[in-house]
Amino acid sequence: MKKITVAIADDHAIVRTGVRQLINEQPDMEVVAEAPDGQGLLKKIKALRPAVAVLDISMPKLSGLELIKLIKDGSPDTQVVMLSMFKKEAYAHQALSLGAMGYVLKTAPGSELIEAIHNACKGQFYLSHEINAQIIHSYLNEDKTDSRKRSLSKYDLLSEREQQVFRLVVDGNSTRQIAEILCVSPKTAEKHRSNIIKKLGISDTMSMLKYAVKIGIADPEIWSD
């Protein structure tokens, strides 16, 4: 029987150990790679091309959200399942919008993660039972409420790359680090940052962080790990 190959990224060793043991206990699954950060896992995914990547959201160097798009570029057949402590529907919406097939809470039973991995392999979405699926679908639906459209309108003006840079900035990365993560020149990274400042009307990192928290794509708890 061909096993489902899985890669894991989480900056907490005890979480990686638990997830690895859970997955390896399944007769049809096998963990083939793991890393404490997104950047380290991305290199392994490009080399091994696992069927599924299980990612935490908050990690050093490269967050799970940034990693989704990079995985899709480097290993298109690898499906992504997010394993997160964040229960806000905005995080699930962001992950699914970027290409993830599942969003599982760390407080959920292990059976939910296994089901999410199976679903991802079949091209089916999976949301943790604690998250209201109707709320998530309302975010993905074009018929969003006017108030939410107003709160996200400026952010929606950013290009996909600019949104990546914005999230990396609020994660605390310098222009040089952003350039290394995205494999672009520091000059290009700085240009993206300048465009973000112009479009959002925000000139300093702290204001960007406050704005990110306001629109639901960042949480102050991320910086308290």
Residues 15-42: pLDDT tens digits?
A: 999 999 999 999 999 999 999 988 889 9
State both tokens at 125: 């979405």
**What local confidence, expressed as pLDDT, does residue 82 receive?**
96
- Written as one letter, the residue type at 199 is K
Cβ-contact 15, 43 below 8 angstroms: no
CA angle 219, 224, 225 (to 5 degrees): 105
Give the residue-averaged pLDDT of 185-207.
Answer: 87
Considering the domain 4-140, what is its CATH architecture? 3-Layer(aba) Sandwich (3.40)
**Domain-by-domain residue ranges, the chain?**
4-140, 146-224
> CA-CA distance, 99 to 71, in Å (whole number)?
10
Query: Topology of 146-224 in CATH?
Result: Arc Repressor Mutant, subunit A (1.10.10)
In our burial notation (b when 16+ CB lie closer than 10 A, e otherwise), range 135-148 reads: ebeebeeeeeeeee
160 pLDDT above the threshold of 80: no
Three-state DSSP class for residue 142: coil
Q: Considering the entire predicted model, what is its pTM?
A: 0.66
